Amino acid sequence: MYEGSAKQCLMELNWMEQEIECKMEEMDRLRRLAEGASSLRQKGGETERIQSIVDKLRALEERLGDEVDSFVSLKAFAEKAISGLDKPELRTVLRLKYIEKHTIEAAAERMGYSAVHTARLHKRALMALNEPMGLYMERCLGAQKKEKD
C-alpha cells in the first residue's frame, strides 16, 4: 500500500494548484512575448525562429494540460473520498482546510468549535481518509510506472 498519508495527498493538491497557477501566468507572459515577436516578423524576418518559439509554447501548453488533468483527477477523488466520510463534522473540517484553504483556526470559527477541538476532528478525519487515499495513490503511481515502462 502507498506509504503517504491522506494529509500528504491533500497538501499535494494545494501545491499542484499553486504550481499550475504559476505556470499559467508564465504561459501568458510567454504568449505575449511571442505575439510581440510575431509582429516583428511582419516587419522583417526570422520566420523559422518564431515558429520554433510557437512550437515550444504549444509543447509547454500540452504539458500544462497534462498537469491540470492530474490535478482535476486527484481533486475529484479527494472530494469523493471526503464526501464518503460518515460524520458531517469530519467532512466539513477537511473541506474547509483543503478545498477552501482555511486555517484550522478559521475552520474552527466557521464550525463554532475551539481550535483544539477542530484540530482533533482534523486528525480523526485524516485518519479516516488514509486508507482510501492510499489505495487511490497506489493505483495512480502504478499507472504512472506502467506508462514509463
Tens of pLDDT, residues 41-90? 555 556 666 777 778 888 888 999 999 998 998 899 889 899 999 999 99
Does residue 145 sit in helix, strand or coil? helix
The least confident of 34-48, 70-84, 90-104, 112-126 is 34-48
Tell me if 6 sits within 8 A of 133, measured CB to CB. Answer: yes
Q: What is the pLDDT of residue 145?
A: 56
Within-domain flag for 96:
yes
* Cell, residue 94: 477537511
Within-domain flag for 1:
no
Q: Does the predicted model carry a pTM greater than 0.75?
A: no
Residue with cell 473541506: 95
Total domain count for the chain? 1
What residue numbers bound the domain in which 104 lies?
A: 6-148
Q: Is the pLDDT score of 94 beyond 70?
A: yes
